[in-house]
Amino acid sequence: MRVFDTVIAFKNFINSDCLNKKLGFVPTMGALHNGHLSLINRAKTENDLVAVSIFINPTQFNNADDLKNYPKTLDADLQMLKAVHCDIVLVPSVAEMYPKGAVSETFSFDGLENLMEGAFRPGHFNGVGTIVKRLLEIVNPANAYFGEKDYQQLLIIKKLVKLLNLNINIVSCPIYREPNGLAMSSRNELLSLPQRQEATIIYKILCDVKSNFKKEPHQQVYEAVDRAFKAHPFFKLEYFVIAEADTLMPVNKIIATKSYRAFIAVFAGNVRLIDNIAL
Ligand code: PAF
């Protein structure tokens, strides 16, 4: 496994040793878990070589404490990557990724950037768009892999690639869950053991929503979610939305030809968790 901490060295390697090779790319912010590894394993089956980036992108954090507390586990990450036979790792510095200072570009993603995560984390998707654009331009892979846990991010990145006219296939990968149903996330490391055990409620509630979505009026489904979290001492619901899967517009009337997903964001103490499910 080759590890590069400068973009220039990474690019030199790609342009000399990886010519005519199909490159798969998994961008990450580190604190790797089995969800990331599932993306890397998929990328390995569909490409000649797999590159992973580890970069905690400051511009996508709208909260300074969230950035400060974000788990940083580079040595363990590199060991995990080596164990799954990742080929190339890029670990660039903030100075190199943001030579003019950590400021985002402004994007318009047809309004997707203003809903849900965008509404509660102002500027978040400009930060994601800025860094993913830069990383895709540096790596220029055939395929780039993103998890459906960040479903809104996935849709936005698909739009970004269209907007920039990049010839890169964005591959969406299913949510990888802990045995109790909690969606795998680097932030899970910040939960206490009881919080992590009890967080099973998030997935259970999403499963209830899935079974009731077509049977009950939407209002009733929304109220049941609200009630379930109000009754739980560990979690505070930030938002719950049932939306059309392509546009993320909140559901009004179910249209048979459309598909829908339920999205949720909750706080466990200071830790913010998101999850979603196809309905
Ligand atoms: O999903 C993530 O880990 C990040 O948002 C990404 C795509 C690596 C950009 O920083």
pLDDT at 83: 97
Q: What is the pLDDT of residues 49-100, one digit of tens each?
A: 999 999 999 999 998 999 999 999 999 999 999 999 999 999 999 999 999 9
Q: From the CA of 28, give the closest atom in ligand 1.
A: 8
Q: Is 126 in the pocket of ligand 1 (CB under 6 A)?
A: no
- Asked if 2-173 and 186-274 have one fold, the answer is no
Helix, strand or coil, per DSSP, at residue 139: helix
Q: Is 131 in the pocket of ligand 1 (CB under 6 A)?
A: yes
> Which are the contacts of 227, defined by CB distance < 8 A and separation ≥ 6?
none
Q: Is 47 in the pocket of ligand 1 (CB under 6 A)?
A: no
Q: Is 28 in the pocket of ligand 1 (CB under 6 A)?
A: yes
Blockwise average pLDDT, block size 10, the chain, 279 residues: 97 92 98 97 98 98 92 97 98 97 96 96 97 98 98 98 97 97 95 96 97 94 96 95 97 94 97 97
Rounded to 10 degrees, the C-alpha dihedral 104/151/115/197 comes to -100
pLDDT at 229: 95
Residue with the nearest Cα to atom 3 of ligand 1? Answer: 28
Per CATH, the homologous superfamily of domain 186-274 is Pantoate-beta-alanine ligase, C-terminal domain (3.30.1300.10)
Would you state the structure tokens that stand for residue 235, as one six-digit string? 């979690």
Helix, strand or coil, per DSSP, at residue 180: coil
pLDDT at 8: 96
pLDDT at 17: 87
What share of residues in the chain are helix, strand, coil (percent, to 5)? Answer: 45, 20, 35
- CA of 128 from ligand 1 middle (Å) equals 7
pLDDT at 18: 87
In angstroms, how far is the first alpha carbon of the chain from the final one?
40
Residue ranges per domain, the chain?
2-173, 186-274
C-alpha pair distances (Å), 264 with each of 209, 252, 273, 274: 11, 18, 8, 6
Pocket test for ligand 1, best of 26, 38, 60 (most atoms within 8 A of CB): 60
Q: What is the pLDDT of residues 233-257, one digit of tens each?
A: 999 999 999 999 999 999 988 999 9
Identify whether 124 is a catalytic site residue: no
Helix, strand or coil, per DSSP, at residue 25: strand
Residue with the nearest Cα to atom 9 of ligand 1? Answer: 128
- The pairing of strands 260-268 and 271-278 is antiparallel
Q: Is 29 in the pocket of ligand 1 (CB under 6 A)?
A: yes
Residue with the nearest Cα to atom 1 of ligand 1? Answer: 28
- Helix H or strand E segment including 175: none
Per CATH, the homologous superfamily of domain 2-173 is HUPs (3.40.50.620)
pTM as predicted: 0.96
Q: Is 30 in the pocket of ligand 1 (CB under 6 A)?
A: no
